[in-house]
């Protein structure tokens, strides 16, 4: 254990009430919690751990096991276990009273507390993770309030390693302390004295490598930043967001979306489509910057193609001035496309009417010019184009560039350098000194952002970068073939390209050259499909088992392609002669006549395979998995391929805990990239968050009573009733008997929301049960189905709401649909300008109107917030009896015994008879309930006299219609 962990534990133990600990990310929070577990003894009671994610849980358990194994003497406690809903109530009670350490979900714990299955005195303390996500209405605060009210000796220890989340909103840290009923805030940033001393006492050897980006990568990054800045300027024009937060630096982080969303949510319905789209566009642009330094060129182009297809006509950024550069540069990283006239490569002038053919010398000249574009020797695709109208023929060149990410080569060089150093130390006999404690396994750990990068890099160092790029290129081409093969629906006449032509995948055009641009775009598309067909054919031949060696040798012959002309055999990446043999047989109705592939020598791959034998053992680790792998692998060398501030701290902690072990760390940054900017900004943002928390800590005021406890707790076992306590009256000269406490029956599934917590704060007794009908039962007559806005739209779409309202109307006299809005959002579905006069199937207002017309007894309640809902429930229950728990559970539940007298289960409601009654002549929606109340069955209805019918049906005319229908004789069959 590092020393600053001991200081944190000491500070926590000083206050028996508990505290809130906020640390920098990556400072071993899981190890700190596992060390606290060692101090727990079963005689104190059980220790419950809340809000732990699966990775956090596994990391804490692994550290706890390691700590136990390192103990030389003393009693070895049982390992922490998990309490789930699969365990029956009696087993959960036995675990609670055993005094162990348990991971438990908030939903299970709050239900057991409200049903008194958990004795509160059996709980010694709570450990709450991810404290930055807590609020006064969260379930964790609900649990703490109930436990504190009956167990004053309980301690609450909350932890968070996201300081920037603790400063979002107004007085977030102070409000978190109050909802947890703790007084102490413990701040441990990276620059804290004890932390800095421990981590800087014997730091790891660090090598910072700045990798220059390629020219096209620099161009893409510059273009994306320009587009992002343009979108931010557009958003500033709305005058509805804080301008200070709208910076490109803030736009690099995911929290930027939260900042904008928090400001725009209250007025979201008043914003125009353009502003709403800008919010989405900024998120897309941030991904473009991130993916540029994370993925290879082909994957990046594939992502751009998907954006072009999915966001073409909705996005604002795609029409920005610099957006076309993003697509053009991304395409040039993968391939170059151009036409050749008179041996020149590039977009040519309008072709003349004279038909020309390239001789062998011209072919060689074109090939040399193509190689001049990229210093590496790459395959070329020559496409012979024939203009039917002008009888001309032109060469079109599709040059495969397949630019490799610069980091790939640097990573390989670093691995080779590591192996060379180890070989030198081994030869010089310095291996023991180099390895430090002599317990080194020689593993090199490469940390990447995600699993995809890990798999690709592993493939890169195993098979070579050229092969990886070739495979990605072939996948890209095959996706073009698959897309082309999809059935075309609602095909419309092609529109002319607009603007810079980014949406149509064509280059910028000048006036008067529309025909040529359209021709070039089609030629480029056809050339890609031709190359894709070649790859597809080769793969199909491999599947049927054709001899691979024979295919490699075969370089001649032409194969007719469906709709594409003739193509030369051979797979991408294979070695063939540089000669090409054009054929002049034109394809019917097409412009592509021939496709020729020239392959390059793969000597580099052979050299790479020889060098591969000299690489050290490498393990790839995905940072997004959140697994603490350093203590498991104990690597001697670490390569941060995608540097992350939390991982940097984990490396520092690893070295501080293992001072005798040598550790060398390589950081790979793209020079002058947003990757560097984001890393440096994350450090500044974290330091700024802690500085803000330090100021808040010096100014915050936590109210305490004379015993040093937080105020806000009631000394009684149950919360105060909302009924006034002063019930003294002059009647009989004494105190009237206290009225019964309000209670609400709540469905178990509703504990995923925070409304039960707010109702409990209002003084209502919450009874959690499993309800078949409704979410909240307020009285024997009132049943409430609660819907948030998103749930309301989803329920209408699935038809679930109709069934729920139908069930409530069947079993309860007053069915209620509660539509609950968020407190920080507008109290309306849509702006007034968007509400139409006609009933439309897509309008939520129209759907609600139809629902009310179909169920006239349904009552709709509109609630502005959770607290408003609690006030509404209080007023609805003021003159009602309390609901019956046993009866509420049985409502709508099928019975095995069949029909039971005076029961409320499903079998006792003859829905078929009700539907038949409503279809009888004279029976309407306004009188069928009165008829049901006046007679028990259809048989009794048929025997009622005319006067009684008129009384129940509200008039002589309706009664006469029904009587004539019932008394009419059926015709005699002949």
Token pair 């509660």 in the structure block, residue: 818
Per-residue confidence (pLDDT) for residue 391, from 0 to 100? 43
> Tokens 């629902």 appear where?
851
From CA 770, how far away is CA 621, in angstroms rounded? 44
Burial 387-403 (b: 16+ CB within 10 A, else e): eeeeebbbbbbbbbbbb
- Which helix H or strand E contains 185, and what residues bound it? strand 185-188
DSSP string, 735-761: BPPPPPPPEEEEEGGGGGSSHHHHHHH
Predicted model pTM: 0.73
Question: Is the distance from CB of 574 to CB of 599 less than 8 angstroms?
Answer: yes
Residue 660: predicted pLDDT: 85
Collapsing DSSP to helix, strand or coil, 777 comes out as strand
793/800 Cα distance (integer angstroms) = 10
Cα–Cα distance measured from residue 500 to residue 319, given in angstroms and rounded to the nearest whole number: 8
DSSP symbol at 968: P
Judged by phi (left if over 0) then psi (alpha if -120 to 50, else beta), residue 464 lies in left
Task: Give the pairing of strands 814-820 and 782-788.
Answer: parallel
d(CA 599, CA 580): 11
β-pairing, 18-23 with 185-188?
Answer: parallel
From 153, 145, 155, 156, select the one nearest 716 (Cα to Cα): 145
pLDDT at 268: 64
Token pair 């509805």 is found at: 240
Q: How far apart are CA 20 and CA 165, in angstroms?
A: 14
pLDDT of residue 689: 92
- CB within 8 Å of 773: residues ≥ 6 apart: 783, 804, 807, 808, 811, 812, 891, 892
Q: Which residues contact 619 (CB under 8 A, 6 or more apart)?
A: 443, 444, 445, 446, 633, 635
Only one residue has tokens 């977030």, namely: 172
| CA dihedral (906, 908, 913, 918) positive or negative | negative
pLDDT tens per residue across span 125-142 = 999 999 999 988 889 999
Q: Which residues pair with 900 in a beta bridge?
A: none
The sign of the CA dihedral 178, 181, 186, 187 is negative
Tokens representing 99 are 């005094």
Low-confidence ranges of the chain (pLDDT < 70): 71-77, 238-259, 261-262, 265-271, 311-313, 339-396, 429-440, 484-521, 541-613, 703-740, 824-826, 829-841, 894-911, 971-974
């Amino acid at each position: 254990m590092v020393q600053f962990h001991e200081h944190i534990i000491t500070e926590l133990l000083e206050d028996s009430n508990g505290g809130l600990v906020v640390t920098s990310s990556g400072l071993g929070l899981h190890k700190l919690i596992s060390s606290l577990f060692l101090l727990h003894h079963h005689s104190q009671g059980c220790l419950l751990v809340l809000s732990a994610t699966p990775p956090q849980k596994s990391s804490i358990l692994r550290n706890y096991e390691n700590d136990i194994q390192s103990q030389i003497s003393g009693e070895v406690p049982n390992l922490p276990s998990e309490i789930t809903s699969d365990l029956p109530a009696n087993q959960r009670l036995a675990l609670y009273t055993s005094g162990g350490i348990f991971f438990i979900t908030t939903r299970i714990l709050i239900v057991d507390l409200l049903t008194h299955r958990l004795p509160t005195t059996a709980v010694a303390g709570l450990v709450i993770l991810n404290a930055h996500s807590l609020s006064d209405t969260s379930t964790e605060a609900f649990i703490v309030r109930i436990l504190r009210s009956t167990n004053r000796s309980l301690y609450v220890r909350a932890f968070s390693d996201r300081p920037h989340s603790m400063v979002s909103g107004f007085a977030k840290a102070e409000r978190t302390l109050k909802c947890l009923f703790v007084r102490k805030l413990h701040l441990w940033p990276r620059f804290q004295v004890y932390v800095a001393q421990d981590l800087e006492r014997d730091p790891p050897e660090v090598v910072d490598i700045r990798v220059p980006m390629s020219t096209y990568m620099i161009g893409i990054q510059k273009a994306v930043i320009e587009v992002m800045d343009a979108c931010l300027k557009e958003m500033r024009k709305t005058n509805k967001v804080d301008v200070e937060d709208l910076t490109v630096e803030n736009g690099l982080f995911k929290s930027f979306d939260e900042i904008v969303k928090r400001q725009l949510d209250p007025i979201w319905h008043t914003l125009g489509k353009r502003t709403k789209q800008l919010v989405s566009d900024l998120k897309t642009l941030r991904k473009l910057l991130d993916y540029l330094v994370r993925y290879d060129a082909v994957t990046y182009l594939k992502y751009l193609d998907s954006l072009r297809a999915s966001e073409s006509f909705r996005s604002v950024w795609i029409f920005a001035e610099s957006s076309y550069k993003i697509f053009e540069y991304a395409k040039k990283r993968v391939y170059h496309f151009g036409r050749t006239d008179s041996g020149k490569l590039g977009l040519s002038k309008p072709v003349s009417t004279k038909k020309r053919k390239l001789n062998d010398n011209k072919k060689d000249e074109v090939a040399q010019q193509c190689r001049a574009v990229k210093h590496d020797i790459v395959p070329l695709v020559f496409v012979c184009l024939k203009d039917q109208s002008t009888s001309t023929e032109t060469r079109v060149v599709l040059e495969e560039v397949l630019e490799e990410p610069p980091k790939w080569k640097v990573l390989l060089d670093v691995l080779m350098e590591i192996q060379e150093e180890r070989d030198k130390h081994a030869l010089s006999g310095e291996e023991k000194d180099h390895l430090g404690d002599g317990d080194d396994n020689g593993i090199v750990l490469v940390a990447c952002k995600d699993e995809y990068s890990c798999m690709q890099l592993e493939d890169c160092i195993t098979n070579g970068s050229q092969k990886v790029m070739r495979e990605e290129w072939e996948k890209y081409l095959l996706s073009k073939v698959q897309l082309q093969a999809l059935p075309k629906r609602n095909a419309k006449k092609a529109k002319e390209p607009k603007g810079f032509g980014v949406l149509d995948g064509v280059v910028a055009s000048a006036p008067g050259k529309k025909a040529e641009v359209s021709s070039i775009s089609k030629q480029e598309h056809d050339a890609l499909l031709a190359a894709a067909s070649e790859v597809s054919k080769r793969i199909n031949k491999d599947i049927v088992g054709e001899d691979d060696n024979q295919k490699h040798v075969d370089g001649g012959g032409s194969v007719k392609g469906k709709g594409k002309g003739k193509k030369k055999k051979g797979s991408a990446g294979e070695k063939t002669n540089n000669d090409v043999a054009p054929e002049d047989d034109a394809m019917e109705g097409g412009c592509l006549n021939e496709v020729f592939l020239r392959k390059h020598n793969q000597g580099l791959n052979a050299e790479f395979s020889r060098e591969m034998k000299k690489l050290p053992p490498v393990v790839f680790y995905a940072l997004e998995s959140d697994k603490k792998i350093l203590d498991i692998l104990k690597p001697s060398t670490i390569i941060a391929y995608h540097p992350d501030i939390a991982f940097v701290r984990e490396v520092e902690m690893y070295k501080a805990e293992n001072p005798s072990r040598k550790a060398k760390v390589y950081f790979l940054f793209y020079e002058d990239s947003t990757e560097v900017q984001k890393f440096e900004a994350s450090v500044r943002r974290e330091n700024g968050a802690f500085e803000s928390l330090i100021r808040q800590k010096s100014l915050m005021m936590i109210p305490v009573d004379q015993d040093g406890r937080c105020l806000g707790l009631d000394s009684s076992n149950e919360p105060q009733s909302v009924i006034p306590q002063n019930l003294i009256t002059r009647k009989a000269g004494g105190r009237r008997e206290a009225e019964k406490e309000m209670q609400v029956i709540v469905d178990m599934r509703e504990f995923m929301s925070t409304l039960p917590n707010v109702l409990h704060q209002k003084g209502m007794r919450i009874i959690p049960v499993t309800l078949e009908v409704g979410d909240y039962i307020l009285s024997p007559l009132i049943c409430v189905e609660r819907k948030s806005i998103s749930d309301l739209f989803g329920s209408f779409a699935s038809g679930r709401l109709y069934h729920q309202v139908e069930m409530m109307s069947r079993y309860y006299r007053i069915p209620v649909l509660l539509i609950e809005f968020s407190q920080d959002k507008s109290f309306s579905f849509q702006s007034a300008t968007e509400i139409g006069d006609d009933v439309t199937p897509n309008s939520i207002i129209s759907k609600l109107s139809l629902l009310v017309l179909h169920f006239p007894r349904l009552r709709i309640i509109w609630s502005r917030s959770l607290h408003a809902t609690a006030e509404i429930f209080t007023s609805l229950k003021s003159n009602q009896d309390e609901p019956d728990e046993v009866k509420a559970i049985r409502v709508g539940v099928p019975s095995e015994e069949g029909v039971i007298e005076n029961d409320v289960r499903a079998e006792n409601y003859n829905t078929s008879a009700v539907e038949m009654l409503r279809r009888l002549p004279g029976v309407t929606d306004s009188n069928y309930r009165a008829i049901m109340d006046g007679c028990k069955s259809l048989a009794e209805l048929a025997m009622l006299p005319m006067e009684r019918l008129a009384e129940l049906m509200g008039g002589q005319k309706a009664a006469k219609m029904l009587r004539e229908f019932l008394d009419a004789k059926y015709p005699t069959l002949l």
